[in-house]
Amino acid sequence: MEYTRLGSTGLKISRLGLGCGNFGGIGSAPEFFGMGESEAQAFALMDRAFDAGMNFFDTANAYGGGRSETYIGNWLKTKGSTVSQRLLLSSKVFNRVGPGPNDRGLSRRHILQQVDESLARLQTDRLDMYLIHEPDPETPLEETLVALDDLVRMGKVLYVGASNIEAWRLARGLWLSDVRNLVRFEWVQNSYSLLDRTAEREMFPLCEDRGVGFTAFSPLAGGWLTGKYRSAGVYPDGSRMTLRPEPYLHLVSDRTFRGIAAFADEARARRVDMSALAIAWVLRHARVDAAVIGPRTIAQLDAALPATTIAISDADAKHLANMF
């Protein structure tokens, strides 16, 4: 496993991180709480990921209604300090966790309450990495940054980042941190893949200019780049397109399916798995520090691991991107 610095920090992270969004549910959606990977399945995935050298696990307070963090905490308890001292825990806050009007968002109250809930479930006294799960237009960004700054000063959080954030809002947050002498967003965790290159337009130039790191989530575009979807309406049982298709409906087109077929041919010619090649393309970008992968099985995890060893030239990268 390769390791790199996270943005301008001194923190070294593995080029692949384990996404734990399906532990005990399917992301933060309440209708799927209790589904996803069981605790035993989650333990097996964490064992394999850690053995492979992945040193950060990515979760959120709302994943599986708290089950994801609970499973990770229980796993760490069985491993002892040798493992916990080597592992970086990354969690998030924003999504709804209860019925009340203050049970979501990025208010000072919600952040301070939820970080303690996350720490309790994870059975630890600090989070190495803490992200806002998405922006909260109803809360002043300054209020959020002051709360995060307090968490760092209290020692409950070490590094702060932002997920699902726009470039303009990140720029404003960085400015506020500068003028108010507050902790700043040290990295962005946004979607980036062959099928979603939005970050290239504004986010990557901003990150380069300000020394902000970038970790890519959904490098396989919700499974589309694994080859499991080859024609409209033919989707495997239990896949995202049967459970939560809304974020990916825009991909359902003949053009996408033609691109996937060409991409499959390229992977076959290279004698590598489609998922590994897709992740390798993401990792090749100079602005990408790491990719967060969310395998559902050990086989899927093993298929992705060679991504850090696949060489992709400038010409290769352009050729693969042009398929889509």
Bridge-based pairing of strands 12-14 and 3-5 is antiparallel
| Predicted pLDDT of residue 267 | 97
pTM of the predicted structure, to 2 decimals: 0.95
What is the domain partition of the chain in residue ranges?
3-222+286-295
| Predicted pLDDT of residue 317 | 97
| Predicted pLDDT of residue 244 | 84
Give whole-number Cα distances, 145 to 172, 186, 228, in Å: 11, 12, 41
Closest C-alpha to 297, from 59, 45, 67, 36:
45
Q: What is the chain's pLDDT, residue by residue, as a tens digit (324 residues)?
A: 999 999 999 999 999 999 999 999 999 999 999 999 999 999 999 999 999 999 999 999 999 999 999 999 999 999 999 899 999 999 999 999 999 999 999 999 999 999 999 999 999 999 999 999 999 999 999 999 999 999 999 999 999 999 999 999 999 999 999 999 999 999 999 999 999 999 999 999 999 999 999 999 999 999 999 999 988 878 888 888 888 889 899 999 999 999 999 999 999 999 999 999 999 999 999 999 999 999 999 999 999 999 999 999 999 999 999 999
The backbone torsions φ and ψ at residue 308, rounded to the nearest 5 degrees and listed phi first, read -75, -10
Task: Tell me how far apart the alpha carbons of residues 81 and 76 are, in angstroms, rounded to a whole number.
Answer: 8
Q: Collapsing DSSP states into helix, strand and coil, what is residue 193?
A: strand
CB of 126 closer than 8 Å to CB of 158: yes
The 10 Å CB-count burial string (b at 16+, else e) for 224-249 is: bbbbbbeeeeebeeebbbebeeeebe
The backbone torsions φ and ψ at residue 262, rounded to the nearest 5 degrees and listed phi first, read -65, -40
Please enumerate in sequence order all residues whose Cβ is within 8 A of that of 32, keeping only pairs 6 or more positions apart, or say none.
25, 26, 243, 244
Look up 63 and say whether it is catalytic: yes
Q: Which CATH superfamily is domain 3-222+286-295 in?
A: NADP-dependent oxidoreductase domain (3.20.20.100)
The 10 Å CB-count burial string (b at 16+, else e) for 314-324 is: eebeeebeebb
Task: Tell me how far apart the alpha carbons of residues 301 and 215 are, in angstroms, rounded to a whole number.
Answer: 18
Residue 96 structure tokens? 């709804």
Task: Tell me how far apart the alpha carbons of residues 1 and 53 are, in angstroms, rounded to a whole number.
Answer: 5
CB of 7 closer than 8 Å to CB of 212: yes
Catalytic residue among 3, 63, 71, 235: 63
Would you list the DSSP string of 124-149? -S-EEEEEESS--TTS-HHHHHHHHH
| Predicted pLDDT of residue 106 | 98
CB of 130 closer than 8 Å to CB of 93: yes
